[in-house]
Structure 1
Amino acid sequence: MSTTIQNIDQVSTEVKSFKPTWQDIKKAIVDIVKVDVYYKKSKDSKFMQNYKKRYTELHQAEDPDTYILTNAKKIYPNEDKYIKMKRQYQKYTCSQN
């Protein structure tokens, strides 16, 4: 009687955290703008102007990696502020449905 042994690749389920690069942020901004265009939203809306401004400032920064960290700290200076903004967003998305 013969037996076979199968090697099963083990996949880690551990989530690794990483600091996003300025290229990751740039791609996210571009993707957000593409979705807005896809849904035929106004290119002059406050939403679009905000992301155009962020994209431009990112490209004009001398050190984009430092810029994204500084900007993130400005938007979310502490965990309490982050949680507050997250809850506001959740309330907004729930009210839209």
Structure 2
Amino acid sequence: MTDPAARLLCDDIVPASGMEEAIERAVRELSAPAVAANRRMLNLAEEPLDQFREYMAEFAVIQVVRAYSDDVLAKVERRWQRSRSREGGLK
């Protein structure tokens, strides 16, 4: 996919031969600690406002703690490296 706007539709684009690896990678990413917390936030969206505020306060604290955790920093580094390699291939 060469159109930059098209990249907004998909998280990852791979050839058919790379599907199995891409699926395995997606499964690993979905097992990350942040996924459960984000899912919980979606479930609480229908809760009373005071309960939602309490959750958001807790969520903000957890986000600050998680922002510098080893797994988050490693994930950011991997994505940054992929981005840099794509930019190098486009020039």
TM-score (norm 2): 0.34
Q: Quick check: which one's helix share is greater?
A: 2
Query: Radius of gyration: which is bigger?
Result: 1
